[in-house]
Structure 1
Amino acid sequence: MKLTISILEDQPTEAEYLKTLLHKWSSQENCELEIAEYCSGEEFFTQNNTDTYKRFSVFFLDIQMKELSGLDVAKRLRKEGYTGPIIFLTAFREYVFHGYEVHALNYLLKPVKEEPLFLCLNEIANDISNSSYLYRNKQDIISIPYKDIITFSSSLHYIDILTVSEHYCQYATLNNIIEYLPQEFIRIHKSCIVNMAHIYKVTGSTIVLSNRMTTQIGRSYMKSVIAAFTAYSMRFDKA
């Protein structure tokens, strides 16, 4: 397996240290890396275009760069069609809440620690290896990558499965399905399960999803959903 990584970091020592850890992880996991390094958002966008963004498996973005901040870069990447993981590098934990609007995978606090970084990379590698949900109907069995599933929602005795590109309908119940889903899936009300990796923003009781659809958090689920999503956003860095 190969990961193509883009690092935008304006502090050379920070960038070098991150690359050292990345190469250590790749050696342990027998994963090939291709790393492109940029000292600013301006440099990145000068050297790349919308056709080349998609080749990157993951972006590591320093939030506090001089002109274009990491948040500015992430917003432009999302606007121009990049859907892969974005990881912010920051010295300030409070920046986590700004990531909702750009669908950030995670925040790593500086100086980056080996354990949270490796956990983050393992999750990305696992997603790329296509861990999947098996959808069954009378004619077919289809393997759907979990990373592509946005929501499961119930209607009478059927479940609608919404993905980034398709829609499926299955005879099942949410109670049965949620027992077998990965931890990034959370029930937000009695008739809907959401993949937290596809949450762009939470405003009050409204969730904005990666496809720009909105859904509501049930009143009795509110506290658990907010707690779970906050923990998910910071799951690799507990310091």
Structure 2
Amino acid sequence: MPYRIAICDDEPADAAYLKSVVTGWAARRGHIAEVTTFSSAERFLFRWEDDPAWDILLLDVEMGSMDGVTLARTIRRADHAVQIVFVTGYTDYIAEGYDVEALHYLVKPIDEAKLDAVLDRAAHRLHTGERRLELHTGGGLELVPISAIRWLDVHGNYVTVHTRDGDHTIKRSLSDLERELGDGFVRVGRGLIVNLDAVRRITRTTVRLDGGAELKLPRGGCELLNRAVIART
């Protein structure tokens, strides 16, 4: 599996060392890895806004005007799957890592064996973790975890993807999205796809989802959804 890995550290020597260790890890494990270094949080953020598809981030905590924790919070608002590892000379920030679901803290000077072990964990999580749906919206590219999606519905030439964190409206066909979503989602009629894991109650005319949303079902939708739910039990 190929990995895109970013190293964000304002100390050139530290960044170069991290890159050499990460590149060595990839070679030893037989992975293909694109490893890119950034000298500040702002430089990475500028790149990420146009190119958000990264797998692993190694972030120095203490940097210039934007620190690594602040950068991680920004990334986490849009991407819940990327693996974040903090690199720091201090242990004072460890509690803040829980807010951004950091995989690990590594304290400088970095031990090669420890970094290898952390990268192994990150690779395992990425390999076994959930897929993300790429949504090109007016605000740019959003990477949405599949499990976060509750339902999708059609409005004219647009589809709205309703997630636990908000809604995203895109210009794509519902059929294309149906193929990408795969098992666990059921199309009900021409204009609705429902995540079966989100279903809480089905009546003859409506389906209620977790979070309280209640959707109107087309003719025959009740029977279709009931069969799909029973088949998963």
Scaled by the length of structure 1, the TM-score of the pair is 0.53
Q: What is the letter of the counterpart of residue 114 of structure 1?
A: E
- Percent of paired sites with the same residue: 27
Answer yes or no: is 1:167 the counterpart of 2:165. no
Aligned position for 2:8 = 8
Over alpha carbons, which structure has the higher Rg? 2
Aligned position for 1:122 = 120
How far residue 168 of structure 1 moved from its aligned partner, in angstroms, is 8.2
Whole-Å separation in 2 of the counterparts to 1:24 and 1:45: 26
How far residue 95 of structure 1 moved from its aligned partner, in angstroms, is 1.5
Aligned position for 2:55 = 57
Aligned position for 1:225 = none
Secondary structure of the 1:44 match is: helix
Alignment partner for residue 68 of structure 1, among 59, 66, 69?
Answer: 66
Aligned position for 2:106 = 108
Aligned position for 1:44 = 44
Output one character per residue of 1:165-223: Cα deviation in whole Å (capped at 9) or x when no partner: 87389xxxxxxxxxxxxxxxxxxxxxxxxxxxxxxxxxxxxxxxxxxxxxxxxxxxxxx
Q: What is the letter of the counterpart of residue 105 of structure 2?
A: Y
How far residue 58 of structure 1 moved from its aligned partner, in angstroms, is 0.8
Tell me if the contact between 2:88 and 2:106 (Cα under 8 Å) persists in the aligned partners.
yes
Whole-Å separation in 2 of the counterparts to 1:119 and 1:168: 36
How far residue 123 of structure 1 moved from its aligned partner, in angstroms, is 1.1
Whole-Å separation in 1 of the counterparts to 2:196 and 2:112: 37
Whole-Å separation in 2 of the counterparts to 1:104 and 1:46: 21
Are the structure 2 counterparts of residues 38 and 22 from structure 1 closer, same or farther at C-alpha, using a change threshold of 3 Å? same
Aligned position for 2:86 = 88
Q: What is the letter of the counterpart of residue 73 of structure 1?
A: L
Aligned position for 1:23 = 23
Matches within 5 A, 1:147-162: none
How far residue 42 of structure 1 moved from its aligned partner, in angstroms, is 1.2
Q: CA RMSD in A?
A: 2.6
Q: What is the letter of the counterpart of residue 44 of structure 1?
A: F
Unmatched tracts of structure 1, length 5 or more: 133-146, 151-164, 170-239
Q: What is the letter of the counterpart of residue 16 of structure 1?
A: A
User: Which structure 1 residue ranges, 4+ long, deviate > 4 Å from structure 2?
Assistant: 147-150
How far residue 93 of structure 1 moved from its aligned partner, in angstroms, is 1.7
How far residue 128 of structure 1 moved from its aligned partner, in angstroms, is 2.7
Higher relative contact order (CA 8 A, sep 6+): 1
